[in-house]
Every structure is written in structure tokens, then in C-alpha cells.
Amino acid sequence: MTRLARTSIWPGIALAGGVFALCLLVSLAFGPASLSLGEVWHYVTTGPVQGDLPNAIFWQIRLPRVLVACLVGAELAVAGVILQDLFLNPLTDPYVTGVSSGAALGATIGIVLHLSNLPWMTVLALIGGFLTLGVVWMAARRRGRIDIFVLLLAGVTISYLASAVVTVLMIRANQDMYAIVYWLMGSFSGRGWPDVEIALVAVPFMIAPLFFAREMDILLQGEKRALELGVEVERTKRVLLVTAGVLTAIAVSVSGIIGFVGLVVPHIVRLLVGPGHRSLLPVSLLLGASMMGIADLLSRTVIAPNEIPVGVVTTFVGAPLFVYLLRRGRKG
């Protein structure tokens, strides 16, 4: 784009980075076990120690959980940006491609087969997500090109199909029913370092879209216009769709299905920094991570020792913020 846009992306990114750093600190500093700030600092500086229970609370319980929450938030936000702009549809969220429902089906099978305490459930969720992506992809491919509208419809249809199967399994699985329901609601409770490792796999996929920022900007004007301007439309679509699919599958496989972040964070960021992808993508990544971190902080502290489902918190935090920004955006 213009030189002005090129020079003005950094303040926004720096500010978002600051917000994220603050959210990360707050999330780590507070928790239901009420370690004092001094204690937290002590554990940070001493590192993980065997045989020290409060140290384990910080290093084995709180830190990995916060990291997983932030990573999942970032993954969903980036996937949301990609899919909204590819589908040119503001109501799109990372779950429309059917990937999440496929992942949910995989996880449900894991629960029903009592593989729930092993990494198997995550593996099955990933397999379910990728299989769905493959099916939707095949459905939408015609003479070497991907029809975005067919893809959207196929995704929604597969979504419903997978949900129906999940429901059937749920009814058949008496003892496991609540486990499935809780998984579908999404949660970061009990997530540890293995989950962080899985979520970290998504980092290259969060960065990859940045290299397609220019193409994504042009695609906003429609595929025809993009072709005229020399964009390799099909290749770009392929890369971006797979990227969004992988991000969603990984996010869902560690956290279950958490709504609102992938839908609303991209919109909030567009209102703040505009539609240009060189700033939209990194700022969405950082604010997605921030929002999920804070949502999980509230989820584990507000009614401690109980927990509020994190999906409820993302909605309660996100909805008023979004409405406020929408109104402010109109006036400006």
C-alpha cells in the first residue's frame, strides 16, 4: 500500500504488544491460590523447583495454563481474520469451516473410548479436524480452483453433520456425557506443559499469513480484481485456508470449543487499526492472546474455588467492548 500505511503500522503493533505484556503479567500474578506478587516474583527468578508445592502451583499449574490460553486466543484470532476476509463475510468465525466440529467429533470418540486422560484425545481431535478440512476441501474444488461459497456451505453442512454424530454419541454415553459437554464448552482447566507444546506447533502458522498481507489486502476487492492485479489467487487461497484450518484444529484440540474470540477480535482490531493486513494480523494475534488470557484469569478467579466456563467469560468481556467500539466507530 502507500508509504504512509507502511510507516504507521508499528505504533499499533507496539501498543498491542504492550497490552499483551500487561495481560500476561496480570494473568500470571493473580490466581485462586493467591500467591503474593513477591512470591510470584520469587518463583519466576528461582525457576521450577522439585518438592516445593507453591512453586509447583506457579510453574506446573498457572504458567502452562496461561500460556495455553494466550496461544489459543492468538490462534483463533488469526484464523478469524483469515476466514472473514477470504469469505468476505463479517459473520465468519474459525468454526465455520467445519474443522472445529470435526475436532469435536474426534475428541468425543476419544472420551467415549476412555482415552481422555492421554494425549490421544488431542491426537484424535487433530485427526478429526484435518479430515474434515480435507472433505470440505474436496467438496469445494472444481477444475483446480476452490469455490469459496461452496467451501462455506460444505463447511457448515459438515459442521452440522459432525455435531449430530457427537449428539448421538453423547446420548449413548451415559457416564461420559458430562465429559463431552464440558469438552464442547471449552476450558483451560488442567492444561499443562504437553498442551503448551501442542499449541506452540501453531506458531509458524500464525506467522505465515504475514507474508501474504499484500495479497490479502487486494483480495478484499474480490478475486477478479485480485487476478487483474497479478495476485496468484488460487495459491493464496490454498495457503490461507490450510493455515486457518490448522490453527483452528490445534486450538480446538487443546481447549475445546471457545466462542467469540475468533469472531470478535478481528472486528475490534479492524475498528482500531483498519483493514490493512500488515497491522490487522499481528495486532489481532496479540489482542486475541490478551483477551483469552484475561478471560481465563476471570474464569479461574471470580468465583474461586469454582470456575466459570471460559466461553462465558469471553462473551461477557467481548460483547460490551465490541458494542462500545462499534458505536464509537460509527461516530468517528
Partner 1 sequence: MSTTRPRRGLAAVILLSSLVLAVLGAAALAGCGSDASAGGEASPAASASSAPITVADGTGATVTLQQPAVRIVSLAPANTEIAYAIGAGDKMVAGTSYDDYPEEARSLPKTGDFANPNVEKIASFNPDLVLAAGGIQDKLRSKLEQLGMKVYVVDPKTYDGVMTDITNLGQLTGSTEQAEKVADTMQMVKDEVQAQVASASRPVTFLEIYSKPLMTAGSGTFIDDMITLAGGANLGATAGSGFPTFSTEVLFKNDPDVYIADSGSMGKPGDISKRAGFAELTAVKDGHVYVIEDSILARPGPRLAEGLQELVKMIHPEAAAAQ
The Cα 250–Cα 227 span in angstroms is: 32
Please select the residue that binds partner 1; options are 160, 225, 326, 329, rule is CB under 8 A: 160
Sorted by sequence, the CB contacts under 8 Å of residue 291 that are 6+ apart come out as 23, 73, 77, 261, 265, 314, 317, 318
Residue 36 binding partner 1, by CB under 8 A: no
Nearer to partner 1, 2 or 34 (CB): 34
57 and 30 in contact (C-beta within 8 Å)? Answer: no
The Cα 124–Cα 109 span in angstroms is: 8
Which range in 2-10, 16-24, 132-140, 252-260 contacts partner 1 by CB under 8 A? 252-260
Is residue 119 classed as helix, strand or coil in its secondary structure?
coil
The number of angstroms, rounded, from the C-alpha of 310 to the middle of its chain's C-alpha atoms is: 13
Please select the residue that binds partner 1; options are 114, 141, 214, 238, rule is CB under 8 A: 114
Which range in 36-44, 51-59, 82-90, 223-231 contacts partner 1 by CB under 8 A? 51-59
CB of 60 to partner 1, least distance (A): 3
Residue 239 binding partner 1, by CB under 8 A: no
Is residue 69 classed as helix, strand or coil in its secondary structure?
helix
Please select the residue that binds partner 1; options are 3, 7, 53, 224, rule is CB under 8 A: 53
Sorted by sequence, the CB contacts under 8 Å of residue 312 that are 6+ apart come out as 299
261 and 247 in contact (C-beta within 8 Å)? Answer: no
Q: Count the neighbouring beta carbons within 10 Å of the beta carbon of residue 119.
A: 14
For residue 6, give the amino acid letter: R
CB of 166 to partner 1, least distance (A): 6
Residue 315 binding partner 1, by CB under 8 A: yes
Please select the residue that binds partner 1; options are 20, 43, 95, 322, rule is CB under 8 A: 95
Binding site for partner 1 (CB under 8 A): 31-34, 50-54, 56-57, 59-62, 64, 91, 93, 95-96, 100-101, 104, 114, 116-117, 156, 159-160, 162-163, 166-167, 170-172, 174-179, 181-185, 187, 189-190, 192-194, 257-260, 263, 300, 304-307, 309, 311-312, 314-315, 319
